[in-house]
Structure 1
Amino acid sequence: MALVPYDGNYLPVFSKLHKSSAEFHFADHNVRLTQDWNQLGVAAVVWDAAVVMCMYLELGQVELTGKVAIELGAGTGLVGIVAALLGAKKVTITDREPALGFLAANVKENIPPDQLGAVEVSELTWGQGLERYPTGGFDIVLGADIVYLEDTFPSLLQTMEHLSSESSVVLLACKIRYERDTNFLSMLKQHFTVHEVHYDKERDIHIYKAVKLPARRDL
């Protein structure tokens, strides 16, 4: 979501993020993603939350076959790409406009030609232009490491509410770094039932499943 270029003077622990590509094996496919930290910053590298989300999706705990999915703040597009490879009928992979060309190139590189028609790369700034997306039109809403900028929390929540219905599943993979992260979960629980469904201890990544609460009907 945040397209923030970073200086080249980084700690060695982050060196993998500065590599020009990252490779994975998911859904019986070798997935090779271009990374571009210098130009697009945090939006253009693969973070652990995305990897853990893909591992969770491979476990089959959430049915993807035949489903309509959307990824928010996709960055390199890893999660959306893997969702498509695992059988989602339609996947919309979104981020802000400056990242779209980069994102589309990763999709083209990793989605088989006969499946490309089922994957769409689309501009989405949270809370803006939501009328371009069908209300409650997605079975699965995916987000990996998108809970980190407090100023975006209201618009992110608004976007999740717009995209999901009471039968949709929202999956969020994230670290709980600061008090603001738990504050977002509290905000989320005002509109969704929320359960932690997976924890990767090695990477300190939590996955939360959220389902929209029924609309209030005043008597």
Structure 2
Amino acid sequence: MALVPYVENSLPALSKLHNSSAQFHFANHDLRLAQDWKKLGVAAVVWDAAVVMCMYLELGKVEVKGKEAIELGAGTGLVGIVTALLGAKVTITDRQPALDFLSANVKANLPPDSQGAVVVSELTWGEGLEQYPAGGFELVLGADIVYLEDTFVPLLRTLEHLCSDTGVVLLACKIRYKRDTDFLSMLKQRFTVEEVYYDKQRDIHVYKSWKLPPREDL
């Protein structure tokens, strides 16, 4: 999730991040996501990119039902929860400190008959990737995970490892700085990248990527 400055009540646009919960209606379900900025910071609030990603998934322009999906840097788990409600089998991942919080949100927002469609799992980008099947996911999702340059190389390695040859990566992000466009340039060296959606109100872009075919000269 995105790292942005936050001082309580300093900016009206950010005050919602301090609320103990955030409510949404996606996939014909009312969702209530717990938030805990003081305990977990950026990993425990719902960012606009996650909301826009869910809006895009609901449009039905990417096949979700029946797909093997994985969400990276899930935070509160909104995107993974909505993806499961839309019919995918989802692995929802984040770093270890966020997992209990994430698991609680998943349990609270998925009906009993959907609980089995979701696994919450630890994943630090670029590390321990062997625990996840290479090319094992048809849909790789990330909302507001492009913001720290030190993570770009391990994130790309993770995307390459997880995404199947016929799968797609969906990234929802705000383009804040030159480093964000630098990441997209890095991504284009390994994937075909297309902007498929833009929410002007929230200034969030959604990019769809799929693996480039192998080069014959390599």
Partner of 1:167: 166
Matches of 1:93 and 1:6, distance apart in 2: 26
What is the identity, as a one-letter code, of the residue corresponding to 2:109?
N
What is the identity, as a one-letter code, of the residue corresponding to 1:63?
E
Matches of 1:14 and 1:66, distance apart in 2: 36
Does the residue aligned with 1:41 lie in a helix, a strand or coil? helix
What is the identity, as a one-letter code, of the residue corresponding to 1:198?
Y
Identity within the alignment, %: 77
Matches of 2:31 and 2:48, distance apart in 1: 15
Partner of 1:81: 81
Q: Which runs of 5+ in 1 are unaligned?
A: none
1:180 partnered with 2:176: no
1:158 partnered with 2:157: yes
Matches of 1:153 and 1:9, distance apart in 2: 32
Deviation at 1:114, TM superposition (A): 1.4
Does the residue aligned with 2:116 lie in a helix, a strand or coil? helix
1:19 partnered with 2:22: no
1:61-107 deviations in Å (ceiling 9; x for gaps): 0011110000000000000000000111x100000000000000000
Partner of 1:149: 148
State TM-score, norm by structure 2: 0.96
State TM-score, norm by structure 1: 0.95
Partner of 2:99: 100
Deviating runs (4+, > 3 A) in structure 1? 1-10
Residues 5 and 40 in structure 1, CA contact (< 8 A), matched pair in contact too: no
Matches of 1:5 and 1:76, distance apart in 2: 19
What is the identity, as a one-letter code, of the residue corresponding to 1:65?
K
Partner of 1:52: 52
Matches of 2:214 and 2:159, distance apart in 1: 15
Does the residue aligned with 1:169 lie in a helix, a strand or coil? strand
**Coordinate RMSD, CA, aligned:** 1.7
Deviation at 1:117, TM superposition (A): 1.1
Partner of 2:130: 131
Matches of 1:22 and 1:146, distance apart in 2: 20
1:122 partnered with 2:133: no
Partner of 1:36: 36
Greater shift, 178-187 or 206-215, is seen at: 206-215
Matches of 2:3 and 2:95, distance apart in 1: 8
What is the identity, as a one-letter code, of the residue corresponding to 1:170?
V
1:21-53 deviations in Å (ceiling 9; x for gaps): 000000000010000100111111000000000
Change (3 A) 1:199 1:173: same
Residues 2 and 47 in structure 2, CA contact (< 8 A), matched pair in contact too: no
Deviation at 1:8, TM superposition (A): 4.2
What is the identity, as a one-letter code, of the residue corresponding to 1:183?
D
Matches of 1:4 and 1:14, distance apart in 2: 10
Q: Which runs of 5+ in 2 are unaligned?
A: none
Does the residue aligned with 1:159 lie in a helix, a strand or coil? helix
Deviation at 1:115, TM superposition (A): 1.3
Deviation at 1:55, TM superposition (A): 0.3
Matches of 2:3 and 2:205, distance apart in 1: 23
Matches of 1:3 and 1:198, distance apart in 2: 22
Residues 85 and 111 in structure 1, CA contact (< 8 A), matched pair in contact too: yes
What is the identity, as a one-letter code, of the residue corresponding to 2:147?
Y
